[in-house]
C-alpha cells in the first residue's frame, strides 16, 4: 500500500499512515492522500461570538450561551451546548428560549469580536497575503506556492494557525482544505467544531454527487425551490442536465450550477473585496406602526450608514429601504440618485421618501436603510440642488457635526430626531 500522508494536529508532525501520531501519540490526526498537495482553505471559527463570551467569562463555560439582542431579536450565535438543544443561528429569540430556557443570553459586543477578528487576521497574514474575509469569523486563504517560504506544506501551516488561535486567543476554528473555494467552504463545515477536513481532487465528483443542492453556496430557499420544480434535489440530479439547458432555465446561475456540480470553481481568493453596499437595520421589540418611532429609527440607521460610508471612504448612488412586515414578508425599495451621497441627511431623506412612497402602513417588525452602487467618497455630495437651497447648509452642518464628534466623542452632539 502506498504511504498515506498524515498530519498530527496536536504536535504538527507530518507522518505516513497510522491511527495515532507516532511522535505524541495523539489521535487528533488528519489523513488524506492529497493532504500536502492542496492549498485553498476556508477557516471558520467555531461559535465565534459565544466562544469569545465564554473565554471572557469562565462561569459561562459549561452553560448554554446565546448571543443575540433583545426580546424580539434573533440568535446571532449560540454555543455548541445550546445547539444540542436545537438552537440555531438566525432563529427568533423567543423560539430559542423555548427550546433552551436555561440558556444565558448575552448581548453582542461587536467591538470585542472585531478586535479578536483582527488578531486572527494578523495571524493569517503570517501565512499568506491572499486572504478573503467573509465576515468577522471566517475567511478564505490561498496558500498556493507558500510551501517553500514556510518550509512546510499548507496543511501544516493551517493546523498551526488554528492551534495558535486556541493557544493565544482561546478561540477554536475549523479548517476546510481543498482545491477551490467552493469545496473548501463545504469542507470546513464537515467536521465542526475544531475540525480539519480535506476534499481532494480525486474524490470531488464522488463526494458531491450524493449531496443535496442546498450545499452549494448561494443556493438559498428560493433557488432551492426553483431547482426542486425542475426535479433537481441532489447534485447528481444536476449532473444529468446539459449546460445549455441549465442556462436556459436558470440564467447565469445555471452556468454556475453546472460548474459547481462538477466541483469546478475558478473564482480566486480576492483580498478584501470592496463592499457592494452598506446598510443597517433594526428589529423592534414590538411590531410598530408608529410613524414617529419609525422615523427616529430611520434617522439613526441613516446616521450609522453614513458614519460607516465616511469611515470607509465610500458613497452610494442608490439608497435602499427594507421593511419587514409583522408576517415576516419583506418589502424592499430602492432609488437611484442623480449623484452619489454619503451624508446621513440625504440617506435619511431619500429613505423617508421611499417609505412614504411605499404605501406600507405596518405594523413592521424591522426597518433597514442602506446605500448601494458604491463609489469613492471623494465624489460624493458635490452638487447642490437649486430647488433645495438649504441642502448645502444641512450638508455643512453635518460636516461640522462630524468634526465635533471626531474631537469630543459620538454623543457630543446629536439631533433631536435621534431621540425619538
| Residue 385 near other proteins by CB under 8 A | yes
Contact 352, 261 (CB under 8 A): no
| Residue 386 near other proteins by CB under 8 A | yes
Minimal distance, residue 279 CB to other proteins, in Å: 20
> How far apart, in Å, do the first and last CA atoms of the chain sit?
73
Q: Single out the residue of 148, 229, 338, 407 in contact with other proteins (rule: CB under 8 A).
A: 338
| Residue 384 near other proteins by CB under 8 A | yes
| Residue 390 near other proteins by CB under 8 A | no
Q: Single out the residue of 23, 149, 357, 404 in contact with other proteins (rule: CB under 8 A).
A: 357
Known catalytic membership, residue 138: yes
Minimal distance, residue 380 CB to other proteins, in Å: 10
Judged by CB, which is closer to other proteins: 303, or 350? 350
| Residue 90 near other proteins by CB under 8 A | no
| Residue 388 near other proteins by CB under 8 A | yes
Of 262, 258, 236, 237, whose CA–CA distance to 247 is shortest? 258
Choose the catalytic residue: 53, 132, 138, 398: 138
How many Å apart are CA 110 and CA 113, to the nearest integer?
Answer: 5
Judged by CB, which is closer to other proteins: 245, or 385? 385
Q: Is 94 helix (H, G, I), strand (E, B) or coil?
A: helix
How many Å apart are CA 388 and CA 30, to the nearest integer?
Answer: 66
| Residue 415 near other proteins by CB under 8 A | no
Instruction: Name the grid cell of 134.
Output: 467573509
How many Å apart are CA 153 and CA 144, to the nearest integer?
Answer: 9
| Residue 274 near other proteins by CB under 8 A | no
Q: Single out the residue of 382, 390, 403, 412 in contact with other proteins (rule: CB under 8 A).
A: 382
Judged by CB, which is closer to other proteins: 88, or 393? 393
| Residue 353 near other proteins by CB under 8 A | yes
Judged by CB, which is closer to other proteins: 322, or 349? 349
Contact 310, 353 (CB under 8 A): no
Q: Single out the residue of 27, 220, 275, 392 in contact with other proteins (rule: CB under 8 A).
A: 392
Q: Is 394 helix (H, G, I), strand (E, B) or coil?
A: helix
| Residue 335 near other proteins by CB under 8 A | yes
Could you give the angle at the alpha carbon of 7 between the alpha carbons of 5 and 13, nearest 5°? 120
HSE at residue 98, side-chain half, CA atoms within 13 A, is 5
Contact 131, 269 (CB under 8 A): yes
Judged by CB, which is closer to other proteins: 210, or 386? 386
Could you give the angle at the alpha carbon of 111 between the alpha carbons of 105 and 114, nearest 5°? 105
| Residue 332 near other proteins by CB under 8 A | no
How many Å apart are CA 232 and CA 247, to the nearest integer?
Answer: 14
Pick the stretch among 73-81, 141-149, 191-199, 387-395 that binds other proteins (CB under 8 A). Answer: 387-395
| Residue 372 near other proteins by CB under 8 A | no
How many Å apart are CA 195 and CA 166, to the nearest integer?
Answer: 13
Give catalytic residue positions. 138
The residues of the shown chain that bind other proteins, judged by CB under 8 A, are: 335, 338-339, 353, 357, 375, 378-379, 381-389, 392
Amino acid at each position: 500500500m502506498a504511504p498515506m500522508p498524515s498530519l498530527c494536529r496536536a504536535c504538527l508532525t507530518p507522518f505516513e499512515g497510522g491511527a495515532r501520531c507516532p511522535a505524541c501519540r495523539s489521535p487528533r490526526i488528519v489523513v488524506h492522500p492529497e493532504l500536502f498537495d492542496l492549498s485553498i482553505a476556508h477557516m471558520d471559527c467555531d461559535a465565534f461570538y459565544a466562544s469569545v463570551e465564554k473565554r471572557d467569562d469562565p462561569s459561562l463555560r459549561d452553560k448554554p450561551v446565546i448571543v443575540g439582542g433583545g426580546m424580539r431579536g434573533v440568535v446571532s450565535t449560540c454555543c455548541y451546548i445550546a445547539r444540542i438543544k436545537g438552537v440555531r443561528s438566525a432563529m427568533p429569540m423567543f423560539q430559542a428560549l423555548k427550546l433552551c430556557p436555561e440558556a444565558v443570553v448575552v448581548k453582542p459586543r461587536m467591538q470585542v469580536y472585531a478586535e479578536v477578528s483582527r488578531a486572527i487576521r494578523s495571524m493569517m497574514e503570517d501565512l499568506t497575503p491572499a486572504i478573503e474575509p467573509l465576515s468577522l469569523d471566517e475567511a478564505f486563504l490561498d496558500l498556493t506556492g507558500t510551501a517553500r517560504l514556510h518550509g512546510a506544506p499548507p496543511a501544516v501551516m493551517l493546523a498551526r494557525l488554528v492551534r495558535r488561535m486556541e493557544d493565544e486567543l482561546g478561540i477554536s476554528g475549523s479548517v476546510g482544505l481543498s482545491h477551490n473555494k467552493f469545496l473548501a467552504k463545504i469542507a470546513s463545515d464537515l467536521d465542526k467544531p475544531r475540525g480539519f477536513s480535506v476534499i481532494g481532487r480525486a474524490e470531488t465528483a464522488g463526494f458531491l454527487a450524493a449531496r443535496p443542492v442546498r450545499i452549494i453556496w448561494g443556493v438559498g430557499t428560493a433557488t432551492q425551490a426553483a431547482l426542486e420544480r425542475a426535479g433537481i434535489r441532489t447534485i447528481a440530479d444536476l449532473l444529468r442536465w446539459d449546460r445549455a439547458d441549465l442556462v436556459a432555465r436558470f440564467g447565469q446561475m445555471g452556468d454556475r450550477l453546472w460548474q459547481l456540480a462538477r466541483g469546478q470553481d475558478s473564482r480566486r481568493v480576492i483580498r478584501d473585496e470592496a463592499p457592494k453596499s452598506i446598510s443597517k437595520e433594526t428589529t423592534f421589540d414590538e411590531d410598530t406602526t408608529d410613524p414617529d418611532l419609525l422615523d427616529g429609527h430611520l434617522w439613526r440607521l441613516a446616521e450609522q450608514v453614513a458614519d460607516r460610508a465616511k469611515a470607509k471612504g465610500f458613497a452610494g448612488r442608490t439608497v435602499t429601504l427594507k421593511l419587514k412586515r409583522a408576517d415576516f414578508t419583506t418589502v424592499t425599495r430602492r432609488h437611484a440618485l442623480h449623484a452619489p451621497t454619503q451624508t446621513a441627511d440625504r440617506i435619511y431623506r431619500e429613505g423617508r421618501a421611499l417609505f412614504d412612497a411605499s404605501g406600507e402602513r405596518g405594523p413592521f417588525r424591522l426597518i433597514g436603510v442602506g446605500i448601494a452602487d458604491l463609489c469613492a467618497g471623494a465624489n460624493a455630495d458635490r452638487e447642490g440642488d437649486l430647488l433645495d437651497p438649504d441642502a448645502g447648509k444641512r450638508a455643512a452642518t453635518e460636516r461640522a457635526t462630524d468634526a465635533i464628534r471626531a474631537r469630543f466623542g459620538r454623543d457630543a452632539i446629536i439631533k433631536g430626531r435621534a431621540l425619538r
